[in-house]
């Protein structure tokens, strides 16, 4: 009995120290995790409220702050138990090198994400299209992935390396966009009246910018008519409203003014007499075939 008491008295200080170390380490771990979340939330709120900080970098900046604090917390906990942190860091560095070689694609995504945030060819809220075929509004550029929301509401997630290696068409970076609408006019219609009518339509649109001034010009000659190009500028946010509105308004206004869209015509010659037979009904391919057959006979 005396030996057990003597052995317990010998182990009691060690057990007490171990218990205190466990308690302190647990408190450090809890405090570190709480502080990391607190700092991360503060960084996110500060970045969101500031108009000078691009919200594209907020998710990556948040993750960096949070995990930097947590890594230092874990190192402090290990140091509490007497672990040599210098040798641990060296081991982690070697392990990181081995993992990096095994995960080259993942590290490539991280490097691509850093380049996307540094050069910022895309930003949150911008509508972009990639040469890979993906398009949508940028939701977030993270450490590994870029998230897009397509026009039909589908959420699209892409590796950062895919975005970085693609040709990016950014439709939202400039404040204004140009709209070109080809309007066909029949031969024989009064071209000057058509130009005047189109100019009146464009000038009457409030969402069409006055500077640069709209242009209505003859652009090209086709087999069935003259192509008039209507060129206007609009704010990027109003581009589609202007496009849809002009396409509908131009067609209805020209028809109301008596201008009909050009219809393709085809003249069939009699190879023997050189005279043209009676014109077939427009738009009927079978009629044209019958006339050519009759002419051949």
Along the 297 residues of the chain, how does pLDDT read in single tens digits? 566 556 656 666 666 777 777 888 888 888 888 888 888 888 777 777 766 666 666 776 777 788 788 888 887 777 777 766 666 666 667 666 665 555 556 778 888 888 888 888 998 889 999 998 999 999 988 878 899 999 899 999 999 999 999 999 999 999 999 999 999 999 888 999 999 999 999 999 999 999 999 999 999 998 888 999 999 999 998 999 999 999 999 999 999 998 888 877 677 777 776 555 554 444 444 444 444 444 443
Predicted pLDDT of residue 104: 58
Please name the residues in contact with 229: beta carbons below 8 A apart, sequence gap of 6 or more.
180, 181, 182, 183, 215, 216, 217, 218, 219, 220
CB 208 within 8 Å of CB 214: yes
Asked if CATH classification 1.10.287.1260 holds for the domain at 2-102, the reply, yes or no, is yes
Give the CATH fold of the 176-256 domain. Alpha-Beta Plaits (3.30.70)
- Retrieve residue 200's tokens: 């009146």
The domain segmentation of the chain, as residue ranges, is 2-102, 119-170, 176-256, 266-297
Query: In degrees rounded to 5, what are phi and psi of residue 176?
Result: -125, 155
Angle at 230 between CA 205 and CA 206, to 5 degrees: 10
Tell me how far apart the alpha carbons of residues 163 and 150 are, in angstroms, rounded to a whole number. 15
How far the first Cα of the chain sits from its last, in Å, is 131
26-65 pLDDT tens trace: 888 888 888 888 888 887 777 777 666 666 667 767 777 8
Q: What order do you get walking across the sheet with 176-185 strand by strand?
A: 176-185, 226-235, 215-221
Q: How many residues belong to the chain?
A: 297
* Pairing, β 168-170 against β 127-130: antiparallel
Strand partners of residue 115: none
Tell me how far apart the alpha carbons of residues 12 and 271 are, in angstroms, rounded to a whole number. 119
Q: In sequence order, which ranges of the chain are alpha helices (DSSP H)?
A: 2-49, 58-80, 85-102, 104-119, 160-165, 191-203, 239-256, 285-296
* Pairing, β 145-149 against β 215-221: unpaired
Top-level CATH class of 119-170? Answer: mainly beta
């Amino acid at each position: 009995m005396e030996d057990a008491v003597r052995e317990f008295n010998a182990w009691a200080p060690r057990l007490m120290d171990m218990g205190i170390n466990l308690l302190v380490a647990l408190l450090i771990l809890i405090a570190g995790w709480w502080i990391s979340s607190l700092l991360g939330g503060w960084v996110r709120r500060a970045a969101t409220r500031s108009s000078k900080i691009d919200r594209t970098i907020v998710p990556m900046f948040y993750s960096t702050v949070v995990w930097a604090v947590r890594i230092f917390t874990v190192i402090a906990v290990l140091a509490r138990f007497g672990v040599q942190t210098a040798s641990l860091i060296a081991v982690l560095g070697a392990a990181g090198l081995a993992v990096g070689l095994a995960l080259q694609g993942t590290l490539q995504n991280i490097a691509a994400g850093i380049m996307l945030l540094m050069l910022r060819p895309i930003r949150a809220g911008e509508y972009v299209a990639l040469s890979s075929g993906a398009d949508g509004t940028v939701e977030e550029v993270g450490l590994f992935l870029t998230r897009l929301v397509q026009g039909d509401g589908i959420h699209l997630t892409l590796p950062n390396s895919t975005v970085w290696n693609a040709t990016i068409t950014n439709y939202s970076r400039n404040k204004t966009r140009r709209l070109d609408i080809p309007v066909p006019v029949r031969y024989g219609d009064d071209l000057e009246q058509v130009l005047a009518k189109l100019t009146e339509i464009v000038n009457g649109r409030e969402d069409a910018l006055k500077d640069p001034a709209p242009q209505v010009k003859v652009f090209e000659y086709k087999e069935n008519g003259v192509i008039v190009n209507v060129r206007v500028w609009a704010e990027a946010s109003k581009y589609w409203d202007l496009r849809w509105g002009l396409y509908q308004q131009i067609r209805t206004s020209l028809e109301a003014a008596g201008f009909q869209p050009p219809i393709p015509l085809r003249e069939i010659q009699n190879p023997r007499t050189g005279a043209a037979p009676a014109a077939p009904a427009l738009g009927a391919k079978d009629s044209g075939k019958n006339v050519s057959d009759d002419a051949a006979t």
